[in-house]
Amino acid sequence: MLRTMRQNMKSLSIALWIVVAAFIGTIFLVWGRGSQRGGRDVLAHVGDKVITYMEYRKAYVKSYDFYRKMFGSKFNEDLVKKLHLKEQVLNSLINDKLVEVVAEKEGIKVYPKEVVDEIARMEVFKTNGGFDPKKYERVLQVNRLTPEEFEEDVRRSLLKEKVLTLVEDSTAVAKAEVRDEIVYGMEKVKVEYVELSPRLLTDRVKVSPGDLKTYYEKHKEEFRVPDKVKITYLPFIIEGFKRRVKVSETEVERYYQENKEDFPASPQLHLLVISVKDKKTLARVLDALKKGEFSKVARRYSLDFVASKGGDMGWVTLSNLPPPVSRALKSVSVGGVSSPVKVDGEYKIFKLVDKKEGGVKSLEEVKGQILERLLAEKARKEALRTAAKARKMLREGVPLEEVSKRLGVGLVSTPLLARDGVIPGVPSSFKLLQVAFALQERRVSDIIRTPEGFYILRVQEKRRSYVPSLDEVKARVEEAVKLEKAGVLLDKEGGKLAQLAKKKGWKGALKELGISGVGVKESSYFTRADAGAWGKDLVDRAFAMDKGMFSWIHKGKKVLVFRLVDHRGVSETVISKLFPQVERILLERRRRELLDQWLKELRERVEVKVNQKLWEAL
């Protein structure tokens, strides 16, 4: 998580950054004093380690806060349930304890100096490029964190990185596997096809009164008319209220001065890179760098896509680099070369051409962002104030139409709508209709809060659900019966068309079967990744067929009859070009799988007991 945090430093506010940092995983002020463990109730035992209720509660609150800030107005209790936040937090704590068990067994430690160095590198605590103890204390205090807690979290995070690195470094991917993955994903096919719909054959079927009655009795619920409601509402939309408020230059500047920490600028580095696969080549590169220019060595040995440019990566943001790389570059001065770093199965060496220190973005850089933020805040307050005024007037007996005139807010009426209906121009239609269906006719709602603003509605009319008689829906029932019978007939015709087309071609086969109104279409080349567009059945069959063969498949209620026109393989040039990238992807996938398996096996070896009574009471 600290890794993710560092990579996303640029886009996160300091407050949110600290929430994330505290959630996962502190020495300048208090190393060695120990930390106070809150609460006596033990939620879980992991081997000889324990997870206390207070430890869980702290992690849950910070995780909850993290998602609340991430999703903003879309965050609610339903989303908490969908995220399985309770289980997610407990599992994360259990995994962390498992890592601690392994670290103790293997003698893996994190020393105070490592924690000190890690915190000193964090941009959030720097002033003019250097660590600022006062800023460190201030930021922790603002976020209600003690140095003990933060430093312990950093120690645990570094310990976790060390243990997981041992697991990840043991992964490998065979060259044949990489090649097969490229071919499987890149080979393409092209087909000719005819799409047959049941409607093509409805004129061949007959429907009797008995058919209609039988179908209606079996499927009458399909013809049910749902509950419906008609409403009139007043919209207090934040975007519209922006025209009613103003933000002064003074307010923008004051906000900037009070919230500078929300706009961190990460250091920018101009880098050259050399990437090689093995230690043997790495030794050659290190020897060559003693004698020649970095860019020339990069052109000769590097596998990176910028090798032809002398390894020039251009300007990159320090916080976006992988942690091993950013750590290796911390001690490198402008013009210097880093020690070799292993990243994603490759050995990399970097040259620091130039550096722009981080700090805080200027007011001019963030002025538009602040203006929009303040406008939205003021507009929301004004919209809510106006909505509250409207609700007060309605309680005093002022008609809805008169309230609309006095406040200059347009009154909108809808047609009859079902629960899953859509109110034109209202993103939160579902919420408004939920409220409307809960109210009686002619009743007025309270203020309805939504992401886009506020609403007050009145229920104009309500109609209960009912099943119409056969006479009322006779035409619909007859159409449904025809399509059902035509669908049965279509199955036979699809197979016949595939067989006849082999002998007589598309035109002759369609003519003999008496099918008109359809044309033969040709697809563009597609890969297995296009199964979403073509359907898995067609894609699987097409890649298994020989050129010129015919087949047919169901696609919903339709039938697709098709012929394989071409099967295009993957050239060696493409395989060579994609090999490093695909190898990295497979390696990362293998690492995740290995890590998941490792944690699963750990859980089987290390006894994990959860206090069910306490867990259910949370």
Task: Give the residue-averaged pLDDT of 399-407.
Answer: 96
Whole-number Å distance between alpha carbons of 226 and 213:
22
For residues 5 and 319, the answer to whether their CB atoms sit within 8 Å is: no
Token pair listed for 152: 């312990």
Residue 234 dihedral angles phi and psi, to the nearest 5°: -105, 120
Encode pLDDT of 556-610 as tens digits. 889 999 999 999 999 999 999 999 999 989 988 888 888 888 888 888 888 889 9
- For residue 352, what are its two tokens? 């620091």
284 and 307 share a domain? yes
- Shared-domain flag, residues 41 and 120: yes
| Rounded percentage of the chain residues whose pLDDT exceeds 70 | 93
Distance CA 582, CA 588 (A): 10
Residue type, 227: D
Q: Is there a domain that residue 366 lies in?
A: no
- Does the pLDDT value for residue 170 go beyond 80? no
Which residue type does 290 have? K
pLDDT of residue 273: 95
Task: Residue 8: give its domain's CATH number.
Answer: 1.10.4030.10
Structure tokens at 535: 């359907």
pLDDT at 457: 97
Q: What is the pLDDT of residue 245?
A: 94
- Indicate whether 11 and 100 sit together in one domain: yes
Higher model confidence: residue 234 or residue 144? 234
Per the model's pLDDT, the better-predicted residue between 9 and 549 turns out to be: 549
Domain termination site, one of 324, 357, 390: 357
Mean pLDDT over all residues of the chain? 87
- The token pair at 406 is 């006095």
- 289 belongs to a structural domain: yes
Cβ atoms 486, 207 nearer than 8 A:
no
Q: Which two tokens stand for residue 334?
A: 């402008």
Element (H, E) at 456: strand 453-463
Q: Which amino acid is at 244?
A: R
Q: Are residues 59 and 166 in the same domain?
A: yes
Q: Is residue 582 part of a domain?
A: no
The Cα-based distances of 136 to 8, 127, 262, 461, 520 in angstroms read 20, 10, 15, 61, 70
Q: What is the pLDDT of residue 11?
A: 35
Answer whether residue 579 is part of any domain: no
How many domains are contained in the chain?
A: 4
pLDDT at 27: 35
Residue 597 covered by a domain: no
Q: Determine, yes or no, domain membership for 340.
A: yes
Any idea which of 115-124, 375-384, 412-421 has the lowest mean pLDDT? 115-124
Q: What proportions of the chain, in percent to the nearest 5, are helix, strand and coil? A: 55, 20, 25
* Residue indicated by tokens 């008496």: 514
Contact between residue 311 and residue 292 where contact means Cβ atoms under 8 Å apart: no
- Considering 433, 463, 493, which residue would you say is the last residue of a domain? 463
**Residue that finishes a domain, picked among 463, 497, 526:** 463
Cβ atoms of 56 and 89 within 8 Å: the answer is: yes
pLDDT the model gives residue 453: 95
Least confident of 261-275, 277-291, 394-408, 591-605: 591-605
Long-range contacts of 171-174 (CB under 8 A, 24+ apart): 171/587, 171/590, 171/591, 171/594, 172/345, 172/587, 172/590, 173/345, 173/583, 173/586, 173/587, 173/590
DSSP-assigned letter for residue 261: G
Question: What three-state secondary structure class fits 537?
Answer: helix
Residue 484 clears pLDDT 80, i.e. is over it: yes
For residues 528-538, give the mean pLDDT: 89
336 and 274 in a common domain: yes
* CATH number assigned to the domain comprising residue 452: 3.10.50.40
Token couple for 118 = 């890690």
CB 129, CB 358: distance < 8 Å: yes
Phi, psi of 518, deg, nearest 5: -125, 150
Q: Rounded to whole angstroms, how far apart are CA atoms 350 and 326?
A: 11
Closest CA to 186 of 194, 176, 174, 178: 178
Residue 484 and residue 452 in one domain: no
Residue 253 forms part of a structural domain: no
Summarised one tens digit per residue, pLDDT across range 305-314 is: 899 999 999 9
Whether 487 and 431 map to the same domain: the answer is: no
User: DSSP class of residue 361?
Assistant: -
Q: What is the DSSP string of 205-253?
A: ----HHHHHHHHHHHGGGGPBPPEEEEEEEEEEHHHHGGG----HHHHH
Does residue 6 carry a pLDDT above 80? no
pLDDT band per the 50, 70, 90 thresholds, residue 28: very low
pLDDT for the residue numbered 40:
54
Q: Is the CB of residue 303 less than 8 Å from the CB of residue 349? A: no
Q: Answer for the pair 431, 447: CB distance below 8 angstroms, yes or no.
A: no
Mean per-residue pLDDT for 313-329? 88
Task: Tell which wins on pLDDT, 455 or 517.
Answer: 455
Shared-domain flag, residues 49 and 123: yes
Quick check: 103 pLDDT over 80?
Answer: yes
| Domain assignment present for 577 | no
Percent of the chain with pLDDT strictly greater than 90: 58
> Are residue 434 and residue 285 in the same domain, yes or no?
no
Tell me: do 96 and 158 sit in the same domain.
yes
State yes or no: pLDDT of 128 exceeds 50.
yes
Q: What is the mean pLDDT of residues 5-14?
A: 35
Q: What is the mean pLDDT of residues 169-178?
A: 85
Hey, what's the torsion of the CAs at 527, 531, 533, 535, to 10 degrees?
A: 130
**Per-residue tokens: 150:** 């933060």
- What does the pLDDT average to over 280-299? 92
Which residues constitute the domain of residue 476?
188-224+472-568
pLDDT higher than 70, residue 149: yes
Please answer whether residues 432 and 426 qualify as being in contact, where contact means their C-beta atoms are separated by less than 8 angstroms. yes
More confident residue, 596 or 93: 93
pLDDT for the residue numbered 36: 36
386 shares its domain with 294:
no
Amino acid in the structure at residue 228: K
More confident residue, 12 or 307: 307
Total residues belonging to the chain = 618
Query: Has residue 37 got a pLDDT over 90?
Result: no
Q: Domain check: are 347 and 486 in the same one?
A: no
The predicted structure's pLDDT at residue 10: 35
